[in-house]
Structure 1
């Protein structure tokens, strides 16, 4: 099915996550609520994202706002020569295997797994509404890497990525960067939640939470990203 553009605004929910404010020293901001589209959108617009507090991401749902926050400014992406060469080895597709990407990211063999069936269902619904997207790396007709996340205005909130062959997830990230900076709108940012050494090598920086929330407010005013 085709993904609607612009995204369809869902009904609001009873949960006032948009009014929740983090404390100075805690990444975890709240617990509970649900994963309805209106709840998720309110959370992302407030700088929050869900991750379960139980074993392997089970309920109760935790709502997180990291301090500091991992952020990639598209123009600061570091695409080394080896990655540029690797791009030619893959067929990059967008939104053709969203659920498959999520299932690969949720692989029970992965250390630190947190993506539950409930999360897959919730983000699949967001995908059908035009808010959630997958960037996929294919080789010889096989899905070998990719990432998924939520796009609101000029924000792409990355949730998870996977690869089964070297460079496949990096190629997907490079393709995402191309999409986000296609119109050179300086308000656009990619949120990666927590920075890692690997992501830092690709240009991801750690921002104080206050800086992220200020940039988020600006990014949300940008036109919706185009994935088609």
Structure 2
């Protein structure tokens, strides 16, 4: 925790917020490259999306997709998931981290969806975070991907990119989320989450960002650019 705090402090010390014209240029480029960016977690409906995102904590999207491929074929509703049972869920997801606790949460959230929401996934953040295993980040992903809301889920990639580039500096995930909401031009808010996460995952990577092929390098405030 101390090391992470020091790292965050270092990022903050060398980062400032980009101005509006730079933000306009950056997100116009993202849009030109991919007008309709998509998430990489496989799902078939709102329920399987909630489950997939909840399972993705401390796991890769590739690993979650592999684990849920057969699970979602037989349990794509809360009722079917309950019928499968906790042990049945474990059999499908035991290749991903914290699978026992995650299986418990999947069963609990399935029951709560039936008891409190008529078996349907709610479209409000407050309702979503009332479900076991669903935090603010998971709720924001679901609101964005399924319900089309301009919600901003901040993961490690977006936190790093936001601070490093000056797009959305902040000392923690909530501050970065707020910076995105406050500073990204309104017309780009809907897809900002996916543009940023994909850019952070494949271009602005942690150890050696690929600045030489970065489409926003000329506006990025990162001083230690790579070739």
TM > 0.5 between the two? Answer: no
Larger radius of gyration: 2
More helix by share: 2
More strand by share: 1
State the TM-score bracket (shorter-chain normalisation): under 0.3
